[in-house]
Amino acid sequence: MTNDTGVGSHTSAELRQREAKIQDAGRKALEYKEKGFHCSESVFLAINDTLKITDPCMVKIVTGFHGGGGTHRLDPDLDLTPFLADVAAGRIVAEPDELPMIQVQHLCGALAASIVCVGLLHGRCSPEDDLTCVDELCYELHRRFNEDLGSNECHALREIWVPQSEDQSCAHVYRKGTRIALEVILSAHELVPECPPMSLEP
Q: What is the rounded average pLDDT of the residues 162-188?
A: 96
| Mean residue pLDDT across the chain | 93
Which H/E stretch holds residue 71? strand 71-73
Q: What is the rounded average pLDDT of the residues 131-148?
A: 98
Q: What is the Cα–Cα distance from 173 to 136, expressed in whole angstroms?
A: 22
Q: What is the pLDDT of residue 174?
A: 98
**138 against 4, higher pLDDT:** 138
Q: Is 155 exposed, middle or buried (0-12, 13-18, 19+ CB in 10 A)?
A: middle
Supply the DSSP symbol for 199.
Answer: P
pLDDT tens track for 6-26: 445 678 888 899 999 999 999
Write down the pTM of the prediction: 0.92
User: What is the rounded end-to-end Cα distance, in angstroms, of the chain?
Assistant: 27
pLDDT tens track for 48-71: 999 999 999 999 999 999 999 999
Q: What is the rounded average pLDDT of the residues 105-134?
A: 97
